[in-house]
């Protein structure tokens, strides 16, 4: 019961911290997903929206903690934690959207968009001399994959007739399945999938349209290059962390180590390091790299042009982008720091979503038909 009671406030604190951090990571000229000119960053309406968001987010967390603890004492169920976290997240998103609406209303009422000549900045060097994939940062992931494959190859001949069921980054010793090449090398297959998916994401991000600031074209272009290299490097290191956790799962699957709490902790430790690394990078870089150190003179740069107002193409407080006239398929999102989103006005975006929907439908149908065995749910708190 004590771990369960401690987990509730921890989950609430994590969700609250995430929602409090989102506005701080965004560019000052994009408060709550609304495009404003630099001189409006400290406008009373923007300051009021920030205070409103911070106060109500903290109030929602306090109310959730005060309600969830007695409920946990009565029910003793981990489901309460999931329901509480969901309720807090929904409340925080509504508060965020309300703050977005406050800034947007003040912008429209005050005619902020007309205060500066609007325009965009384009750096053709991102096409003639694009940011390259930092392949050296992918070597750790490749090394872990080869190590896992080598250990699995050496162990395969001595495996028992049945193996524990692999559940993500853990195993279920009480559930076993026949030993086959596919079941034995599941961790290696997952590692290959992780490496390919991460590489595809890196390639797409490096070729996506740069998010530059028309008011500071040179400085924002230089910072964005540094930012892209950092995102690519962090992504490749993320693949290494995910593969390392799969290696620890493979050792338990192949029964090379005894199932113990120490090995379970070791299996999830790379994921904790991965989360901490991304938090550090998000705080350091900020949205599109605006927090990165400026070179001498860059802070004084001002082209006299304000970034083109395209709020009408953004929905759900900067999370969804729809613009049929924009040829870009992948654009930098306004919600969060290192995040991109599909342009839903692009036909290929709907083609990709359709393929994904078909794949999920086929998988769900296979599971319902018994063709694919889904793992049983296991609570973190016995």
Mean pLDDT over each residue of the chain, to the nearest integer? 88
Q: Is the pLDDT of residue 1 over 80?
A: no
Distance (Å, whole) CA 79 – CA 83: 6
Q: Which two tokens stand for residue 308?
A: 């083109």
The pLDDT assigned to 349 comes to 94
Q: Which two tokens stand for residue 151?
A: 């250990």
Specify whether the CB–CB gap between 219 and 130 falls below 8 A: no
Q: Which of 40-44, 173-177, 327-331, 357-361 bottoms out in mean pLDDT, i.e. has the lowest?
A: 173-177
The pLDDT assigned to 73 comes to 73
- In this predicted model, what pLDDT tens digit does every residue of 252-267 receive, in sequence order? 999 898 877 888 888 8
- In this predicted model, what pLDDT tens digit does every residue of 305-346 receive, in sequence order? 888 888 999 998 888 999 999 999 999 998 877 889 999 999
> Percentage of the chain with pLDDT > 90?
58
The owner of tokens 């900020």 is: 286
Q: Which two tokens stand for residue 239?
A: 């693949």
Rounded to two decimals, what is the model's pTM?
0.86
Distance (Å, whole) CA 88 – CA 51: 18
Distance (Å, whole) CA 97 – CA 83: 21
Q: Residue 3, Cβ neighbours under 10 Å: how many?
A: 11
The helices-and-strands tally (H runs, E runs) of the chain is 10, 8
Q: Is the pLDDT of residue 232 over 90?
A: yes
Q: Which of 112-121, 146-155, 360-369 bottoms out in mean pLDDT, i.e. has the lowest?
A: 360-369
Specify whether the CB–CB gap between 133 and 203 falls below 8 A: yes
The pLDDT assigned to 4 comes to 62
Distance (Å, whole) CA 133 – CA 24: 29
Specify whether the CB–CB gap between 42 and 49 falls below 8 A: no
Higher-confidence residue of 367 and 65: namely: 65
Specify whether the CB–CB gap between 336 and 22 falls below 8 A: yes
Q: Is the pLDDT of residue 378 over 60?
A: no
Specify whether the CB–CB gap between 213 and 174 falls below 8 A: no
Nearest alpha carbon to residue 143 among 247, 233, 229, 234: 247
> Percentage of the chain with pLDDT > 70?
94
The pLDDT assigned to 40 comes to 92
List Cβ neighbours of 357 (8 Å cut-off, separation of 6 or more).
none
Q: Is the pLDDT of residue 373 over 70?
A: no
The pLDDT assigned to 374 comes to 53
Distance (Å, whole) CA 144 – CA 191: 9
Of the pLDDT bands very low, low, confident and very high (cuts 50, 70, 90), residue 372 is low
Q: What's the distance, Cα to Cα, between the start and end of the chain in Å?
A: 9
- In this predicted model, what pLDDT tens digit does every residue of 126-150 receive, in sequence order? 989 999 999 999 999 999 999 999 9
Distance (Å, whole) CA 229 – CA 224: 9
Q: Is the pLDDT of residue 210 over 70?
A: yes
Backbone angles phi, psi at 315, to 5 degrees: -130, 165
SS3 342: strand
Q: What is the mean pLDDT of residues 217-242?
A: 95
The owner of tokens 């990078």 is: 281
Size of the chain in residues: 382
């Amino acid at each position: 019961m004590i771990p369960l009671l401690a987990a509730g406030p921890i989950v609430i604190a994590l969700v609250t911290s995430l929602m409090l951090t989102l506005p701080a990571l965004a560019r000052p000229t994009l408060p709550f997903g609304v495009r404003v000119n630099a001189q409006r960053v400290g406008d009373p309406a923007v300051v009021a929206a920030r205070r409103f968001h911070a106060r109500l987010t903290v109030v929602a967390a306090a109310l959730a903690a005060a309600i969830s603890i007695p409920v946990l004492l009565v029910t003793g169920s981990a489901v309460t934690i999931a329901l509480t976290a969901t309720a807090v997240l929904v409340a925080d998103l509504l508060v965020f959207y309300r703050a977005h609406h406050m800034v947007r209303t003040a912008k429209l009422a005050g005619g902020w968009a007309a205060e500066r000549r609007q325009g965009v900045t384009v750096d053709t060097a991102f096409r003639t001399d694009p940011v390259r994939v930092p392949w050296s940062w992918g070597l750790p992931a490749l090394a872990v994959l080869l190590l896992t494959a080598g250990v699995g190859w050496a162990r395969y001949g001595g495996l028992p007739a049945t193996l524990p069921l692999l559940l993500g980054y853990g195993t279920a010793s009480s559930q076993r399945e026949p030993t086959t090449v596919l079941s034995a090398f599941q961790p290696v297959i997952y590692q290959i999938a992780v490496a390919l998916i991460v590489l595809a994401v890196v390639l797409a991000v490096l070729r996506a349209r740069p998010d530059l600031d028309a008011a500071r074209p040179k400085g924002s272009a230089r910072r964005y290059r540094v930012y892209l290299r950092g995102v690519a490097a962090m992504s490749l290191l993320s693949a290494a962390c995910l593969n390392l956790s799969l290696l620890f799962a493979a050792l338990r699957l192949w029964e090379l180590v005894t199932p113990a709490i120490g090995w379970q902790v070791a299996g999830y430790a790379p994921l904790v390091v991965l989360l901490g690394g991304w938090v550090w990078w998000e705080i350091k870089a900020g949205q599109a790299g605006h927090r990165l150190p400026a070179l001498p003179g860059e802070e004084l740069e001002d082209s006299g042009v304000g970034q083109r107002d395209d709020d009408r193409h953004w929905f759900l407080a900067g999370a969804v982008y729809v613009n049929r006239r924009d040829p870009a398929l992948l654009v930098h999102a306004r919600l969060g720091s290192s995040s991109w989103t599909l342009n839903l006005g692009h036909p290929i975006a709907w083609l990709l979503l359709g393929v994904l929907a078909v794949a999920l439908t086929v998988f769900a149908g296979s599971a319902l038909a018994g063709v694919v065995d889904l793992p049983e749910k296991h609570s973190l708190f016995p």
